[in-house]
Amino acid sequence: MVYESLRILKRFLWVSKYSIVYTCCILLFYATSLNAQNNNIMHTYLALGDSYTIGEQVEAKDNFPNQTVKLLNEAGLEVELSKLIAVTGWTTDELAAAIKEANITDTYSFVTLLIGVNNQYRGRSVENFKEEFTQLLEQSIGFAGGDPCMVFVLSIPDWGVTPFAEGKDRVKIAEEIDAYNAAKKEITKAHKCHWLEITESTREHGTDESYLVGDKLHYSGKEYAIWAEGLLPMIKKHFK
């Protein structure tokens, strides 16, 4: 009787051991499948801005939004540039008007926002910029499904170092760009969005014509690649 009980117990433990192993295998399979599904999700991207976003005088593949998408795809994320709203020369209010006209009803996985250089170029005040930029940033958060962590703001490049600015007050331009960027960064951080500093790179490369296009003002794909590389780790970490 005791022997029979021991035999049954032994068999029960043997079955239980392999049941646990089988269950662990099943759980591992589903976890792997779920992870693969998550990696295959198509993430959508909305890019908002001006000439620096559309990429004046460069092929679409070389602007910073498309280069960012390429890097993210190479990193194993499925990302598409779903919508780009940007035109050379736009100020904050003109971008806002275009967004209103586009009547966007979708939300996106993430949003980039680069605007302000034309406000400075036209001599508008920083106070006016702060008000209009804040509205754009809050709209961007809404487009990102209400998640400020999925909004990425780029600083304003310094066009004053380029050959285009020959004969202009380069020091004044730099000071004004700095003032705009200080306000822009403060608002961005207050809204808990991400900030990417690109101004210093444009100052470093603004006299190197390989980083510029034919108008000697806007940037070539070489400069946009630097911005895309800066965005890559910031965006990627939110999709792990």
Residues 158/177, Cβ–Cβ less than 8 Å: yes
Pair 23, 49 in one domain: no
Q: What does the pLDDT average to over 18-42? A: 48
| Cα–Cα dist 214/197, whole Å | 25
Interval 214-223 mean pLDDT: 98
Tens of pLDDT, residues 136-155: 999 999 999 999 999 999 99
- Quote the number of domains for the chain: 2
> Residues 27, 97: one domain?
no
> Do 76 and 180 belong together in one domain?
yes
Same domain, 104 and 218: yes
pTM: predicted TM-score of the whole model, two decimal places: 0.84
- CATH number for the domain spanning 87: value is 3.40.50.1110
19 and 107 part of one domain:
no
For residues 6 and 110, state if they share a domain.
no
pLDDT of residue 4: 54
Average pLDDT over residues 54-74: 98
161 and 181 both lie in a single domain: yes
Asked if residue 122 and residue 82 are part of one domain, the reply reads yes
| Residues 155-198 pLDDT 10s | 999 999 999 999 999 999 999 999 999 999 999 999 999 999 99
Q: Could you tell me what percent of the chain has a pLDDT over 70?
A: 83
Q: Residues 17, 118: one domain?
A: no
179 and 77 in a single domain? The answer is yes
- Assess whether 87 and 25 both reside in one domain: no
Side chain identity, residue 87: V
Residues 18 and 97 in one domain: no
Q: What is the pLDDT of residues 75-111, one digit of tens each?
A: 999 999 999 999 999 999 999 999 999 999 999 999 9
Sign of the Cα torsion 52, 54, 59, 60 reads positive
Report how far Cα 21 is from the mean position of its chain's Cα atoms: 43
Residue spans of alpha helices (H) in 75-143: 92-102, 117-121, 126-143
Task: Domain of residue 12: give its range.
Answer: 1-40
DSSP assignment of 136-190: HHHHHHHHTTT-GGGEEEEPPP-GGGSGGGTTS-HHHHHHHHHHHHHHHHHHHHH
Q: What is the pLDDT, as a whole number, of residue 10?
A: 52
pLDDT of residue 41: 84
Is the per-residue pLDDT at 30 higher than 60? Answer: no
What's the pLDDT at 11?
A: 58
The neighbour count for residue 179, using CB atoms within 10 Å, is 14
